[in-house]
Structures are given as C-alpha cells and as structure tokens.
Amino acid sequence: MQEDADILCYCEWLTRDEIIAAIPHVRSLKELRETTRVCTTCFGCEGDLDDLLVQYGHLFGTALA
Ligand code: FES
C-alpha cells in the first residue's frame, strides 16, 4: 500500500520509488520525463525531482547496454 507521502509528482501520481526505479533505464532527465511523465505538467515537483537526482542521478543509464 503506497502512502501519499511517497508521491513525488502529484500531477502524474508518481512515487519516489517509481521514479528511482526508472532512472537506470533512461540516459537523461529529458528521457526520464518522456518515459515517466514526471514533472511535465505543473512543474511544482521540480525541486523535489532535482533533490532526488542529486541522490540518484549517478544511476542514469546503468541498466542500459
Ligand atoms: S506535481 Fe509533478 S508536474 Fe505537477
């Protein structure tokens, strides 16, 4: 059961875990937005997304060949 507190992007109802899980499968923030739709509507989650990428940005592309 997901708690509301885990939601990072309310427009697309995406949790932090969903976004973190998607990062290794894309190469950039642009691709992350295209794939998950995170932060593509009101941009109110942009600061939280930036904070998350400070922690997890090193994972970009790590699941890709
Ligand atoms: S909360 Fe993420 S785009 Fe609106």
CATH code for position 15? 1.10.10.1100
Domain count, the chain: 1
- Write out the residue range of the structural domain in which residue 34 sits: 4-59
Question: Which atom of ligand 1 lies at the shortest distance from residue 14's CA?
Answer: 2
**Could you identify the residue written with the tokens 């995406």?**
14
Q: Which atom of ligand 1 is nearest to the CA of 40?
A: 3
pLDDT value of position 2: 53
Give residues (CB < 6 A) around ligand 1.
9-11, 39-45
pLDDT at residue number 15: 97
DSSP letter for each residue of the chain = ---GGGEEETTTTEEHHHHHHHGGG-SSHHHHHHHH-TT-SS-TTHHHHHHHHHHHGGGTTTT--
Whole-number Å distance, alpha carbon 65 to ligand 1 midpoint, is 30
What would the pLDDT profile of 5-26 be if each residue is shown by its tens digit?
799 999 999 999 999 999 999 9
Q: What does the DSSP 8-state code read for residue 59? A: G
Q: Looking at residue 45, what is its pLDDT?
A: 98
Mean pLDDT, residues 24-47: 98
Give domain status of residue 64, yes or no.
no
Q: Read off the amino acid at residue 35.
A: T
